[in-house]
Structure 1
Amino acid sequence: MLKVYGMTPMEYLLHYRIEQAKKLLLQTSWSVARIAEEIGFNHVSYFSSCFSKKEGISPSNFRNKFTNSDK
């Protein structure tokens, strides 16, 4: 998997979950906690930490930044 995707299975899973979270943040009004649960995180704080580390912005700020810019 490392040769094909350039990342370990766990890195790929995290990448996939964060991409799904970004879609849900923009396309739904679900809470960050619900999105975390839907994509497979048991703790919203851990999800927020992973999201922030990968995207450089918190899930809530991501939603605000990209939904408010359309208005």
Structure 2
Amino acid sequence: MVGFRTAKRAAELKLFMEDPHNFHILSLVFNRSSRFTKLQSIKCAVAGKNLYMRFSRTTGDNLRNDTKV
């Protein structure tokens, strides 16, 4: 969860995170955290001034895992 001063700022980050044009850059950064993990998708939800992000990833053993931030 990321908290903001305004709901507008939370919505702006949601749009950025879910934009397909930004996914490549975000996945490069995410995938550097482990050689066994690959980012599959990002889903976001705004609740007031808060943004909740879910990162879906695969691991080296082909099990699907979800990481909530």
Between 1 and 2, higher relative CO (CA 8 Å, sep ≥ 6) is seen in 2
Question: Normalization by structure 1: what TM-score?
Answer: 0.30
State the TM-score, normalized to the length of structure 2. 0.31
Report which of the two has the higher share of strand: 2
